[in-house]
Structure formats: structure tokens, C-alpha cells
Amino acid sequence: MRELPSTNAHAPGQKATEHNNKPTMDAVLVIDKPAGLTSHDVVARVRRLLGERSVGHLGTLDPMATGVLPLLTGRFTRFSAKKIAGVPAYKLARKDRDVKLKKVKVFVHRFEIQNLEGDHARFTAEVSAGTYVRGLADELGQKLGVGAHLADLRRTCSGEFTLDQAVTLERLSEIRKNGLQHERNLPDSLSNISLHPRQILPQIPSVTVNDETAGLIGNGRAVNLPEFSGARQVKVFLGEEELIAIASRIAGTLFQPKVVLRAA
């Protein structure tokens, strides 16, 4: 798996929502998912631990699988919902409607057998997003003519998120309890495990704007960003840490906010 440079931890921010005065907790967390839980189960537990209603995951793991499960909380969940015809897939599923996702081409960049013990083979693989590893094992068994199934799976990397950034649910619970015992705000208690928001969507460059430009973006206005005339999209920050929008270039150096996380 490719290595990423280490980054400083970031205390998740709290901002008032558009609909009420209750602050949201905007954070990027990487959970080391245990076996036996669905990704939805993990989301539900984190929601209860943080007292934050908006929690979403980036990429489902089978219940039997363990390892990297990136979560977004608060306003950051506007990057986590996969949409079908403009409607998030999870909303269709909750209404018991048939959800048919389009077939996608996937790539196996690396596949290495680590060891063989009897009829068990342990392997490591580096695959593109959307690859169904259980199906990969089944296909391998068919090619060998003996059949095969996946006995266990541990995800060590998902996009830019790695296992060394991950925390267990037990650790998250301890941090929550310790914070309450010492009368610390929850965002401060989570400062050592929440990742910096600039790590979200690393393929998109970041730009820092002043208060005036931030105000325009908060009102949905297009703004000029001359230094990013070659970029299709940019992550817009107010200061070093507050992600306020994702904007797309519409002409020349003019960018239109597509997802606004900080209203004016």
C-alpha cells in the first residue's frame, strides 16, 4: 500500500446549522472496524458516542471484514452519500425501493500470495475503488478449478486513509469518557484522532480565502481565484483549518461553489 506523509491531528470544529442553533461537529475520523459489525452499525455507534446526528462512511465494509473505515461527521457528510439520479442511495434503500448501481470497471493493481497453509492462502491486494474482494477470491478459485471463498478480510488502506490513522471504537469510547470526566469539550477531546480537513479529497487542490470572499461563497456567489485557473475544482478554506466549500471552475478563473459548508 502506498505511504502517506504524516499529518498533524486536527480538533474537529463546531458550527451552528442552517436550521437550528445546535452546533455540528465537523470531523474526519478513521475507525478500525471490528468483525461482526456492518458499516452502518459503526456509524450508529459513533453517532451515539459523539452525540452527532450527521455521520457517514466512505466505502462499505462487509460485516466479517475489519480495518479502515473512514467516517465524516457534521457538515462533512455532504461528500459521503453516493447518489442515484440525484438521490442518495441510502434514502432509496430506506424506502425499500430497488437500488441498482451501475456496473463499474475495477482494477487489481497488485495481488500477492503471502503464504499457503493447507487449503488456506493469505494474500495482499491493491485494488481500485468498488472492487468486491469476496468476488475476487471466488474468481481465483474458479480459475484454479477448486473453488474458493474469503475467510477473512482486513482493509489496511482506503484511498488516502491508512490503518495507522485509525482508532478502535473502544478507544473512541475511552476518549469520550475521559473528556467528560475532565470537563473538556468533546472536540478538544478528539483532537488527537481527528484528521485535518485538508486531507479530504486530496486530489482537489486547496485555496485559502479572506473574509470578503468567504462571504460571497457563503451566499452562493461565484468568485475569482486566479492562481487556480487550471483546476477543475478547489477546496475552499477560511484560514488554515475551516473548510467552507467545494467550488467548480465555470470559466477562466471564475469558480462557482457547488457544496457550501459555511453559510454567510
Residues taking part in catalysis: 62
Q: Which of 261, 203, 202 is nearest to 237 (CA)?
A: 261
Separation CA 177–CA 189 (nearest Å): 9
DSSP symbol at 63: T
CB 245 within 8 A of CB 237: no
CB 236 within 8 A of CB 264: no
Instruction: Report the alpha-carbon angle 249-250-252, nearest 5.
Output: 80
Helix ranges (DSSP H) in the chain = 39-50, 89-94, 133-144, 169-181, 186-189, 211-218
DSSP symbol at 16: E
Q: At which residue does the C-alpha cell 473528556 appear?
A: 179
Q: Which of 248, 244, 249 is nearest to 260 (CA)?
A: 244
Separation CA 93–CA 95 (nearest Å): 5
Separation CA 44–CA 31 (nearest Å): 13
Q: Is the dihedral of CA 216, 231, 258, 71 positive or negative?
A: negative
Q: At which residue does the C-alpha cell 492562481 appear?
A: 227
